[in-house]
Amino acid sequence: MRLMGGLQAVELSIMDVFFQLKPSEDLDERIVIVGWEESDIYHFQRSRPSDLMLAETIDKLEKGQPVVIGIDFLRDIPEPPGRKAFLDIFTKYDQVFAAAKITGSQKNNQFAPLPPPPIPESAIADVSAILDGDGIKRRSFLYAQTDPPVPNLAWVMAKKYLARQNIFPSEQSKWLRLNGITFYPVKKWHSPYIRVDDRGYQIIPNWRKSEFIKYSFAEVLNPDFDPTLVTEKIVLLGATAPSLKDITYLPFNLNLEGSPQFVPGVVSHAQTASFILSATLNGRPTIQFLQEPWISLMIIVSGLIGASLLQCPLMRRVLLILGGSVLLVFSSYGLFLKGWWVPIVPSLVTLLGNCLILSVVQYEQNQKRQLEKISQINAKLENRVEKSKIYQEFAAFCSHISKNLLDDYQFLINFKTIYQKLIKAVFLEMETLIEDKSVYRKLENSLNLIQQVTVNEADEKIKLFGAFLSRSLPGMDIASFDIEGLDMTKSNQTLEQLIPEIVLGNLRQIFYDLYDWDSKTQCYFQLDEWSISLDSKLLLKFLHKMIDEVLDIADSHEANEKVKIFFQSYKEDKNKILKIQITYPYHPQEITALEWSVYNYQVKVKTDEDVTIWTILM
């Protein structure tokens, strides 16, 4: 933006503000202005002084032996009477200079060049003004862009005064150097100007907020005027009446409040001459510019600082931004008082812009992450709600099994046992009653066949019941359900033994899949004494609440992956104990409110530094 000129107007405005903030300075008594005032117009009944008036005024001023006299009246066209007397002045005095407008364009009447009067070239000085697009004069010519270069009126005045002090321009310096002080020219890229015509030798004077000694033409031409008042001084003659429109605006004439105040053109030349004298003789700082690549480096560093503030909390970020901006402005103003112009506008833009833009980007990214997290939570909640319904159905079904089907299942088992005993008893009775062994063998075979059919039918019912049980339990893998183990001819499992195994077999899918949890690596079972009388519904309710609370607490602390759960069953003093060890410290809340006194359960919770242990005494 800066290299394309997008920040030039703002940088120039900041420079104007800096000039306005500078304190007022004392009167520069080395320069005297003789102005054509509004009072002179009424006194002499002329809008401009005649050539004769200029000649008489200069003759009278010369009696006081000033250092140099500059005429800021264009006299390319005679202003009768007294043309000859006016031209004779330049052969009579070698320290008198006339004005000419060397630069300009013939296509623009307002800025068209105006030739000098017919006088020696050595007595001609350029009075061309360099105005910016907003009409403010911030730069001054030392030499116009002509060949050979023509010195500016202000520079001629200052040069003559310094020559009287035996101070001359250094011939060894590329730029104008007087008494060890270098006056750096305005160049593109380095100065506040980017899109500017930098031809000729242009400088930005360190403008003085001061006045000059002023006299009117009527006062000087009065017989009582003392010429010694201009002795050893620079004298500038020019139009100071506002009605003549020979006015300009300087940076310090712009008010922070109200309308800007103009100054006559002759005062702007006096300002430039005063700056050159003050810098050379009094050490007044000249305006120097930060060079590339330091400007670009400063902008980049400011942008990096603005980006680095994203790591800070919002309130601290705001305070640091405000503090950094104020520090940058005050530092720049302090350097300006020392004569250095630092482009703070692009630095402020990158500092504030980077922080603001990246804060918005960070906010949007955070919002996006939050929305993604909310979507995941919603999906998880939907999944949890769905699986919670499965859990409720499963718990209700297991409770139904434990309460209503126990008798039927146990009857089948008892039937097999009783029938086998009955058949055996019948065989013993028949063996004593039937003497014919062949008849006994036939009857035995018949009874064995009836026994086999009856027992097989009971086994088939048991198997069908097991298959129905496995299909009815949500998430149960039928292959993992040992139907053969239900055959009482091979195993003596009862329903009291079967239900805990069913509960255990469904733990992983019913609970841990609910949390997208890797149960294979974070859940361990060591169930040696599991064949105990349990109420399946209460057990599932306990496990569900415990795991739900543990994982939710861990998830809120982003420690889900650290949680491990270890199930263990054992006997101790004839008591059967189920122990659940959770490798994550937390303080149980809702779970402890469960009434574990029912069903003869006794529950103890112990929380150490790293683990929480649940002990359930059956």
User: CA-to-CA distance for 596 and 492, rounded, in angstroms?
Assistant: 30
Report the share of the chain in percent with pLDDT over 90: 22
CB atoms within 10 A of CB 386: 11
Strands 31-36 and 340-341: unpaired
CB atoms within 10 A of CB 515: 21
Q: How confident is the model at residue 487 (pLDDT cuts 50, 70, 90)?
A: very low
Residues 6+ apart with CB under 8 A from 338: 285
Q: What is the DSSP string of 109-167?
A: GGG--BPPPSS-GGGEEE---B--TTSB--BEEEE-S-SSPPBBHHHHHHHHHHHHTT-
User: CA-to-CA distance for 509 and 455, rounded, in angstroms?
Assistant: 36
**What helix, strand, coil percent values describe the chain, rounded to 5?**
50, 15, 35
Average pLDDT over residues 577-581: 82
Residues 6+ apart with CB under 8 A from 267: 33, 212, 238, 240
Q: Are 390 and 474 in contact (CB under 8 A)?
A: yes
Residue of higher predicted confidence among 242 and 475: 242
Q: Roughly what angle, to the nearest 10 degrees, separates helices 344-400 and 8-21?
A: 110
115-119, 272-276, 605-609: segment of lowest average pLDDT = 605-609
Q: What is the DSSP string of 392-453?
A: HHHHHHHHHIIIIIHHHHHHHHHHHHHHHHHHHHHHHHHHHH---HHHHHHHHHHHHHHHHH
Angle (CA) 84 88 92, round 5°? 165
Residues facing residue 141 across a β-bridge = 202
Strands 523-527 and 565-572: parallel
CA–chain centroid gap for 243, Å, is 54
Average pLDDT over residues 162-178: 90
User: CA-to-CA distance for 244 and 70, rounded, in angstroms?
Assistant: 19
pLDDT of residue 327: 87
Burial class, 388, CB count within 10 angstroms (exposed 0-12 / middle 13-18 / buried 19+): middle
Q: How far is CA 279 from CA 31, 130, 272, 579, in A?
A: 15, 21, 11, 92
pLDDT of residue 205: 92
Residues facing residue 571 across a β-bridge = 576
Domains of the chain: 24-289 (no CATH), 517-618 (3.30.565.10)
User: CA-to-CA distance for 133 and 45, rounded, in angstroms?
Assistant: 36
Q: Are 289 and 184 in contact (CB under 8 A)?
A: yes
pLDDT of residue 479: 40
Average pLDDT over residues 311-336: 84
The per-residue pLDDT of the chain, averaged, comes to: 76
Average pLDDT over residues 297-307: 86
pLDDT at 239 over 90: yes
**Structure token pair of residue 79:** 């202003």
90-94, 151-155, 573-577: segment of lowest average pLDDT = 573-577
- How confident is the model over 74-95, as pLDDT tens digits? 888 888 899 999 999 998 998 9
Per-residue DSSP letter, 311: G
Q: How confident is the model at residue 42 (pLDDT cuts 50, 70, 90)?
A: very high
